Structure 1
Amino acid sequence: MALIAGSPMVAPGPDLPLVVLDPGHGGRDPGAIGVGGVPEKTLTLAAARAIRDALLASRRVRVAMTREDDRFVSLEQRTERARRMGAALFLSLHCDGATDAKASGGTIYTLSEVASDKEAARLAARENRADLLPGVDLRAAGADVASLLIDLAQRRTMEVSARYADLLEREAGVAMRLHPRPRRMAALAVLKAPDVPSVLFELGYVSNPQDLRFLGSAAGRAQLAASVRRATEIFLATRGPRR
């Protein structure tokens, strides 16, 4: 089974939870351009592959990637396919860039409450609402009722996402440099799935030579991957029953 064309799902067992890794950018979208001309899309794909291999080595999860090579994938495709596959976790990987070369460190994003409110209203206004929430057909519900139910689901998902973000901050903070203010909230499109815990991890600044060396080295990626594996294992072991 494939997440998108050319991106096979690698899985040790069909009953294990699915983690979807989302290497940011790709194809015609290079992302931020780093020191020496290294594009963000190359770094995120290399990091995703390292994380995938570390997660699969645990034999506790299935793993899918939104892209396995240098191709463009829309934001909507990234999140919608993960929802349809029933992902237990969606982790989007990006890199920052800044005009100040001293800016450094990773940051971890979850969805803001304002964005959640607006997204619930937008989804409720859709003509076809049959598949917005697992096990709930909202087609017969009015827009106000649908918006309320979606909002409740999304806020629960936000709470679960925050728990994973806490674990990721703790584990990654041991393995790599994080920004002095590493936890943030934003209206990022890839975080808006109402039923899939979603976190976006900015892995560092491509404009910072030290961050770039870390992400560009196999040893650095291995440290990053090990920390994500630890955070993910703890998260999935303590998440409780799925909805």
Structure 2
Amino acid sequence: MKRKFLSLLLLCSTILLIIPAESLFAQTELNRISIAERSDGKGFVVRNHLSNMVDSVKVEQPSSDRIQMLLFAQDLDTLNFQYPPETNTFNHFDLYPVDNGIGVEISLSAGSYFKTRTYPDQNGKDLLLAMESISSSEIDEITAKSSEIDFTSYIADIHGFDDVVEADNSFLRIRDNQEFNVIILDAGHGGHDPGTGNRSMGLQEKDIALAVTLKVGEYIKEHIPEMEVVYTRTDDTFVPLSERGLTATRNKADLFVSIHVNSAANAPSARGTETFFLGLARSKSALEVMKRENSVVDLENGPGSLDLSEEELLVYELTNTGNLAISERIASMVENQFKNRAQRRSRGVKQAGLEALWHASTPAVLIELGFLSNPSEARFLNSDYGQTIMASAIFRAIRDFKLEYDRSIKANGERQASNE
């Protein structure tokens, strides 16, 4: 009996060694959503392409032109999600990150009425949403019984101050004999400078940047009341690029954060966040952002935006190593929050010769929230939900850095570097 048990144990161990580790603890991914007409011609089937079946699903139809789904699965990943194309029936699909899952909202064209049910596909992984055409009177009965899904109610502690952050004593100090207490929040563009936009949707970068910036400031004031928040603008006002950075210098700020929205006119599928700190533009995309953001100078002094030479940027990197180290670290923390908490696609941390950062004699980052040229990202960033998620992610990065910084002061006692 003992020999049989040992043989069985050895066999199980061999099987575990053969099976790849990732398959034992595979993360569920929602890769894309596709649409197919039903074979009976009475509607459609919406397929959620999943790597593993979700734990549960909730469906509501709060109005005739909207269907809401909540897919629940631990650490559901949507970073590589592919949106389905818009059709005469399906206007668009939008994703909303929630704790342990994802919210999906389907926008339908006027006069398209369906009743729905969900079921797993025969492959055991994909989740199908069957949509059967019905009359207007029938859809009225369904919507009367449905409730609106408030996706924010499925997010615990959206911008709270409760997470435990491990101390990290490796980064440089901001300034001798001063704690991390003053932050400049800069909403990009403003006034007669709208920034980029989405003309068909009537959206302008300056409006979204301001809305998110004000939310970040509100979260800081609520959860870190000892920190002083200074805005470069709080309304639709034009502020020259040089003045934005100088605001940080005049207020002896410890951090300058400039918030923007991206665009790619010839690539409507481009999406994702980027966070920049000052330095040489080391990629084509960083160079394009640098050219677009620095072109604001044309609105101030006429054509001829600031052209920071490679030599100037190299000198800056050499003489501001402390600022750059802190800037890069905060930029990384922002992108980690976007990717891991907000479930947005991160295009990474980059360097560029951005004038708004050049004039700030303090650690500084410039954040691109996403692409207004991408309809799905534009809708997300224009929604209160999307702005709340993005502002929360930025706040968390600032909060976590402050926790690290304050703890490192206590742990090390003396300053390691100065930027004065």
TM-score by length of 2: 0.45
Alignment match, 2:243: 77
- Do structure 1's residue 191 and structure 2's residue 357 form an aligned pair? yes
Aligned ranges for residues 1-243 of structure 1 at < 5 Å? 17-34=181-198, 35-58=200-223, 59-99=225-265, 100-113=267-280, 118-119=311-312, 152-173=318-339, 174-179=341-346, 181-193=347-359, 195-239=361-405, 240=409, 241=415, 243=418
Higher relative contact order (CA 8 A, sep 6+): 1
Could you say which structure has the higher strand fraction?
Answer: 2
Question: Compared with structure 1, are the counterparts of its residues 151 and 208 closer, same or farther at alpha carbon in structure 2 (3 Å cutoff)?
Answer: closer
CA displacement, residues 31-71 of structure 1 (integer Å, 9 cap, x when unaligned) = 10114121111110011111111111112421111001111
Displacement of 1:90 in angstroms is 0.6
Question: Compared with structure 1, are the counterparts of its residues 44 and 219 closer, same or farther at alpha carbon in structure 2 (3 Å cutoff)?
Answer: same
Paired with 2:313 and 2:374, the residues of 1 have a C-alpha distance of: 37
- The residue type equivalent to 1:47 in the other structure is V
Displacement of 1:16 in angstroms is 6.6
Paired with 2:390 and 2:216, the residues of 1 have a C-alpha distance of: 8
Q: Do the aligned residues in 2 keep the contact of 1:19 with 1:90 (CA within 8 Å)? A: yes
Range with bigger deviation, 69-78 or 53-62: 53-62
- The structure with the largest alpha-carbon Rg is 2
Question: Compared with structure 1, are the counterparts of its residues 194 and 157 closer, same or farther at alpha carbon in structure 2 (3 Å cutoff)?
Answer: farther
CA displacement, residues 179-233 of structure 1 (integer Å, 9 cap, x when unaligned) = 4x32211111112246311000000001111111221111111111221111101
Question: Compared with structure 1, are the counterparts of its residues 151 and 96 closer, same or farther at alpha carbon in structure 2 (3 Å cutoff)?
Answer: closer
Alignment match, 2:64: none
Alignment match, 1:128: none
Paired with 1:27 and 1:46, the residues of 2 have a C-alpha distance of: 14
- The residue type equivalent to 1:87 in the other structure is A
**What SS is found at the alignment partner of 1:220?**
helix
Identity rate of aligned residues, in percent? 32
Q: Do the aligned residues in 2 keep the contact of 1:107 with 1:201 (CA within 8 Å)? A: yes
- The residue type equivalent to 2:237 in the other structure is R
Question: Compared with structure 1, are the counterparts of its residues 207 and 151 closer, same or farther at alpha carbon in structure 2 (3 Å cutoff)?
Answer: closer
Question: Compared with structure 1, are the counterparts of its residues 116 and 153 closer, same or farther at alpha carbon in structure 2 (3 Å cutoff)?
Answer: farther
Q: Do the aligned residues in 2 keep the contact of 1:21 with 1:66 (CA within 8 Å)? A: yes
Q: Do the aligned residues in 2 keep the contact of 1:79 with 1:190 (CA within 8 Å)? A: yes
Could you say which structure has the higher helix fraction?
Answer: 1
Displacement of 1:118 in angstroms is 3.8
Paired with 2:230 and 2:268, the residues of 1 have a C-alpha distance of: 34
Q: Do the aligned residues in 2 keep the contact of 1:176 with 1:224 (CA within 8 Å)? A: no
Q: Do the aligned residues in 2 keep the contact of 1:104 with 1:178 (CA within 8 Å)? A: yes
Q: Do the aligned residues in 2 keep the contact of 1:18 with 1:61 (CA within 8 Å)? A: yes
Structure 2: runs of 5 or more not aligned: 1-178, 282-307, 410-414
Paired with 2:338 and 2:261, the residues of 1 have a C-alpha distance of: 15
CA displacement, residues 152-197 of structure 1 (integer Å, 9 cap, x when unaligned) = 5412211110010111111121214234x32211111112246311
**What SS is found at the alignment partner of 1:238?**
helix
**What SS is found at the alignment partner of 2:194?**
coil
CA displacement, residues 5-31 of structure 1 (integer Å, 9 cap, x when unaligned) = xxxxxxxxxx87111111110011111
TM-score by length of 1: 0.75
- The residue type equivalent to 2:218 in the other structure is D
Aligned residues: 201
